[in-house]
């Protein structure tokens, strides 16, 4: 055999153009992460969720005032009842005046002021009730809509910025929530009371309000003509099949999810005898949202927003069933890790999914309607939970909750079969895999 001829060394191959474009895209995205706007939006999310963390200990105060589980469930249901009316009302107002920011500021000021009065009036009799219990739903009329308004304002502004995505900004909200929840847990242990949390919400809102006052309203700014409610044509939302189906799915899903934070303290008390570890557990949950929010943009582009919504729902289902097996605080912490992961995925995808489906001029209304329906689910979930815990046990409640979440996922899956096969309505490709920023 003839020996093989020596091969001439080949020069190194240059990267393919598509690889270069991908590298440049990542470089642009990294630069966007360092822009002043990114830091500003991240700071706003950080401060907002620090304040909202302080508002997450209502159940602890009610327990301190010796309310039974059914009474606590009834109070939380009343708060959620107010949440049915308030979010769409404030959403329509913001769309009408073309300023989400101004509406958000009004709600934060009024909600914070009234919320601070709650512990001061818990012993003030007002007929068969105490004034503090009456003020809780009144403060919620302003406080609850801020969640949907903040999401709508933030996703609109981040989409307006090149190479900036909602998830990378929202993760700082989870970090702020985690830090504050942990600190509040330590404070409650030292003081033996959750009263201070009602004052912290207002105090933490002050720097947040200062930052919001300094911001423009993004696409809403610039002297755009205010619209009447008739000109908004709200009926367009009801004619959007996939949006209506998602709102229904989200409502059923939130029947148990909305009650998780109400009744997890009862599980912790059953295991440990008190709820002193609640702040630490909530902090761990919030921290686990961060990696999923970081990865949300990539995951949606890789797998599509619908599949990621399913993944979030599956994690919620597993979470609810696992609570029935928890026998120690570390076990509860482990399950809360699942909740944080599921919430991180579901939050980023659901907000973007609604934003993509709804008409742009009705985006705030659509987000707040979703918040209102979640509150409706919270009413049923809290009432059902309070009854199940009193009649059976907290573990029975979580078993039922897991079954409800699973049923909502099956309904959501069936809706796509009906939409495509029977109604012949295709979900837009831009919704399945958003080309913009998530």
The answer to whether residue 1 sits within a structural domain is no
Q: Kindly state the average pLDDT of the residues 260-270.
A: 81
The answer to whether residue 438 sits within a structural domain is no
Report residue 125: phi and psi, to 5°: -70, 140
Chain segment 358-410, per-residue pLDDT in tens: 777 677 778 778 877 887 887 788 788 888 888 888 888 899 999 999 999 99
CB 62 within 8 A of CB 78: no
List all residues 6 or more positions away from 28 whose beta carbon is below 8 Å from its beta carbon: 162, 163
**The pLDDT of residue 44 is above 90:** yes
The answer to whether residue 184 sits within a structural domain is yes
- DSSP H helices in 65-195: 69-97, 100-117, 131-143, 145-160, 166-191
As a three-state string, the secondary structure of 46-70 is: HHHHHHHHHCCCHHHHHHHCCCCHH
Counted domains in the chain: 1
**The pLDDT of residue 11 is above 80:** no
Measured between alpha carbons, how far is 37 from 42 in angstroms, rounded to an integer?
8
Q: In this structure, what DSSP letter does residue 220 have? A: G
DSSP string, 273-288: SS-TTHHHHHHHHHHH
The answer to whether residue 110 sits within a structural domain is yes
**The pLDDT of residue 153 is above 90:** no
Which tokens belong to 204?
A: 């933490």
Chain segment 410-421, per-residue pLDDT in tens: 999 898 888 888
Q: Kindly state the average pLDDT of the residues 273-296.
A: 76
The answer to whether residue 221 sits within a structural domain is no
Instruction: Say what percent of the chain tops pLDDT 70.
Output: 83
Residue 217, SS3 per DSSP? coil
Tell me the CATH number at 324: 1.20.1250.20
**The pLDDT of residue 23 is above 50:** no
Chain segment 64-121, per-residue pLDDT in tens: 877 777 778 778 778 877 877 888 888 888 877 778 888 999 999 999 899 888 888 8
Q: Is the pTM of this model over 0.95?
A: no
Buried b (16+ CB within 10 A) or exposed e, 261-296: bbbbbbbbeebeeebbbbbbbbbbbbbbbbebbbbb
Q: In this structure, what DSSP letter does residue 219 have? A: G
Predicted pLDDT of residue 232: 55
Split at pLDDT 50, 70, 90, the class of 433 is low
Which position has the token pair 């995808």? 349
Q: Which residue has the higher pLDDT, 304 or 364?
A: 304
CB 126 within 8 A of CB 134: yes
CB 314 within 8 A of CB 366: no
The answer to whether residue 380 sits within a structural domain is yes
List all residues 6 or more positions away from 186 whose beta carbon is below 8 Å from its beta carbon: 279
Of 261, 281, 288, 305, the closest CA to residue 166 belongs to: 305
Measured between alpha carbons, how far is 23 from 17 in angstroms, rounded to an integer?
10
Cα 57 off chain centre by: 17
Q: Kindly state the average pLDDT of the residues 193-203.
A: 84
**The pLDDT of residue 219 is above 60:** no
First-to-last alpha carbon distance for the chain, in angstroms, is 62
The answer to whether residue 15 sits within a structural domain is no
Please give the helix or strand (H or E) that residue 204 lies within, else none: helix 196-213
Measured between alpha carbons, how far is 374 from 363 in angstroms, rounded to an integer?
17
Predicted pLDDT of residue 226: 52
Question: How many angstroms separate the Cα of 321 from the Cα of each of 11, 122, 242, 345, 433?
Answer: 59, 35, 29, 19, 31
Report residue 368: phi and psi, to 5°: -75, -30
Predicted pLDDT of residue 22: 47
**Mean pLDDT over the full length of the chain:** 79
Which tokens belong to 280?
A: 């630490």
Q: Tell me which residue range forms the domain holding 272.
A: 41-214+233-432
The answer to whether residue 264 sits within a structural domain is yes
């Amino acid at each position: 055999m003839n020996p093989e001829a020596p091969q001439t060394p080949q020069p190194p191959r240059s990267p393919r153009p598509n690889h270069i474009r991908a590298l440049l895209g990542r470089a642009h995205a990294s630069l966007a992460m360092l822009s002043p706007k990114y830091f500003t939006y991240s700071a706003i999310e950080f401060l907002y969720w620090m304040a909202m963390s302080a508002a997450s200990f209502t159940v602890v105060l009610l327990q301190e005032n010796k309310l039974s589980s059914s009474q606590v469930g009834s109070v939380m249901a009343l708060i959620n009842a107010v949440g049915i009316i308030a979010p769409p009302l404030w959403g329509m107002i913001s769309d009408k005046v073309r300023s989400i920011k101004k509406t958000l500021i009004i709600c934060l000021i009024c909600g914070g002021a009234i919320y601070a009065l709650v512990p001061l009036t818990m012993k003030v009799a007002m007929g068969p009730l105490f004034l503090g219990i009456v003020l809780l739903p009144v403060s919620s009329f302003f406080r609850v809509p801020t969640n949907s308004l903040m999401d709508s304002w933030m996703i609109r502004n981040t989409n307006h910025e090149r190479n900036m995505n909602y998830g990378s900004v929202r993760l700082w909200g989870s970090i702020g929530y985690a830090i504050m929840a942990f600190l509040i847990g330590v404070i409650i242990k030292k003081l033996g009371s959750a009263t201070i949390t009602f004052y912290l919400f207002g105090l933490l809102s002050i720097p947040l309000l200062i930052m919001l006052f300094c911001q423009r309203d993004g696409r809403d700014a610039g002297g755009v003509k205010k619209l009447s409610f008739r000109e908004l044509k709200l009926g367009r939302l009801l004619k959007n099949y996939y949006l209506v189906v998602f709102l229904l799915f989200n409502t059923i899903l939130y029947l148990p999810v909305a009650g998780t934070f109400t009744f997890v303290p009862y599980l912790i008390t059953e295991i440990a005898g008190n709820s002193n570890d609640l702040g630490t557990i909530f902090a761990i949950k919030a921290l686990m949202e961060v990696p999923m929010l970081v990865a949300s943009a990539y995951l949606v582009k890789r797998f599509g927003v619908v599949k990621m919504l399913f993944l979030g729902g599956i994690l919620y289902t597993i979470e609810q069933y696992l609570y029935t097996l928890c026998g120690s605080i570390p076990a509860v912490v482990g399950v809360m890790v699942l909740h944080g992961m599921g919430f991180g995925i579901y939050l980023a995808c659901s907000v973007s999914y609604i934003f993509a489906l709804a008409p742009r001029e009705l985006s705030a209304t659509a987000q707040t309607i979703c918040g209102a329906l979640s509150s409706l689910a919270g009413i049923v979930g809290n009432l059902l939970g309070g009854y199940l815990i009193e009649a059976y046990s907290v573990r029975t409640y979580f078993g039922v909750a897991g079954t409800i979440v699973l049923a909502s996922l099956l309904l959501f899956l069936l809706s796509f079969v009906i939409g495509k096969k029977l109604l012949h309505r295709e979900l837009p490709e831009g919704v399945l895999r958003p080309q913009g920023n998530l």
